[in-house]
Structure 1
Amino acid sequence: MSKPVLQIVVASTRPGRVGLPVGEWMLDEAVEHKGFEPELVDLAEVGLPLLDEPNHPRLRRYEHRHTKDWSARVDRADAFVFVIPEYNHGFNAAIKNALDYLYQEWQHKPVGFVSYGGVAGGTRALQMLKPVVAALKMVPLVEAVNIPFVRNFLDDEQRLRPSEAMTEAAAVMLDELARMSAALRPLRESGAEG
């Protein structure tokens, strides 16, 4: 049996963002874990416009090439890690927009979070995003990586240098993602609604 596909989604799209080095670190952790076929998905590269589909996503009748490509990409994933910043005590617009484009493609897939920011480590954004993913029939994990004062963990080359606690939290989250992905596989294979 092939390994489950884990997509590590970098949610921040702004210039000068910290999300990309955080996402690259998480990709390295997932490769080292060896339980997944990991891939980095950078929403800045995906470049979705503000939701512009005329039909409700549950119908899966997409008209635009960018939506069809996004659908195919998300559809092949078995699990996710969302790398999210905290903006003004909440999650950023790009991750909400990316989620809102689709419906069935997200269903019955576990999602872990790597949140980052200032003193709160992105935890307020994470807690606000959980009901959004639950509405899409995703399964948000309790296990997460929260990075307070994230810029303190960047070196001169803008690479993340994690603490031991961050590395341990990532390993625990990846273990749980592997378990949940396997447990939810029958629901994914039986087909989502429609």
Structure 2
Amino acid sequence: MTRIGIILGSTRPNRKSEQVAKWVHDTAVQRGDADVELIDLRDHPLPHLDEPMPPSMGRPQNDHTRQWAAKIASFDGYVIVTPEYNHSIPGVLKNALDYLYGEWHNKAVGFVSYGASGGVRAAEHLRQIAGELKLADVRQQVTLTLATDFESYSVFKPGGHQPSQLNTLFDEVIAWSAALAGLRDPAAARAA
């Protein structure tokens, strides 16, 4: 079964990403067509990039990097839940992405963003980063607006149209993850 990691892109106290990621996770579990796991960046405290070699060299020196690499390598695709901070993504998310290179290659990624304008600028920045990491970003994204999808700007209550948007995102991420499997493991693709 296709494995999808749902990455919580914020570690900030009182973050909203936990509420959003739980909704994303619960929706995926109900679908039953992928094995999903929450990946909380709080559980992977990575210092500001401290590897002596570039991630593209694939020679991590630190245990925290090797653990992060093993976690990310275990998935076929991802859904990143991100707030928008100053028209971009949180620094902790950028740092987590920058730590690795080959572990991201030839996998699908979708974005669930939130903020005053739905987090659209954060998602656009993620698309640029994804391209460099050889992640295939799907077209569908879920944009959650603080004024309409959060009661009193704090309690997550997605609008009625959001579940269908999220299901379309999962349709695309799962399909693309499966389609890219041959690029991740060419020997398996030749045997098929």
TM range (shorter): over 0.9
Q: What is the deviation of 1:8? A: 0.2
Which residue matches 1:141? 138
1:155-188 per-residue CA deviation (whole Å, 9 max, x = no partner) reads: 9xx7633222110100000011111011100001
Q: Which residue of 2 aligns with 1:117?
A: 115
Identify, as 1 or 2, the structure richer in strand.
Answer: 2
Root mean square deviation of aligned Cα = 1.6
Structure 2 unaligned segments of length 5 or more: list them: 188-192
Take 1:154 and 1:13, find their aligned partners in 2: how far apart are those partners?
21
Secondary structure of the 2:140 match is strand
**SS at structure 2 position matched to 1:164:** coil
Alignment of 1:27-176 (within 5 A): 27-118=25-116, 120-149=117-146, 152-153=149-150, 160-176=156-172
| Inter-partner Cα distance in structure 2 for 1:140 and 1:113 | 8
Gaps of 5+ in 1: none
- Per the TM alignment, residue 153 of structure 1 is displaced from its structure 2 partner at its CA by 2.7
Q: Residue in 2 aligned with 1:188?
A: 184
After superposition, the Cα gap between the structure-2 partners of 1:138 and 1:150, relative to the gap in structure 1 and judged at 3 Å, is: farther
Q: State, as a whole percentage, how many aligned pairs show the same letter.
A: 38
Alignment CA distance shift 1:47-1:176 (3 Å): same
CA shift for structure 1 position 95 = 1.1
SS at the partner of 1:88?
coil
| Number of equivalences | 186
Asked if structure 1 preserves the Cα contact closer than 8 Å seen for 2:149 and 2:158, the reply is: no
Q: TM-score, normalization: structure 2? A: 0.92
- Amino acid corresponding to residue 83 of structure 2 in structure 1: P
Alignment TM-score, normalising by the size of structure 1: 0.91
Q: 1 CA distance for matches of 2:147 and 2:19?
A: 10
Relative distance call for 1:143 and 1:70 in structure 2 (3 A) is same
CA distance in 2, matches of 1:64, 1:45: 16
- Mapping of residues 1-12 of structure 1, within 5 Å: 3-12=1-10
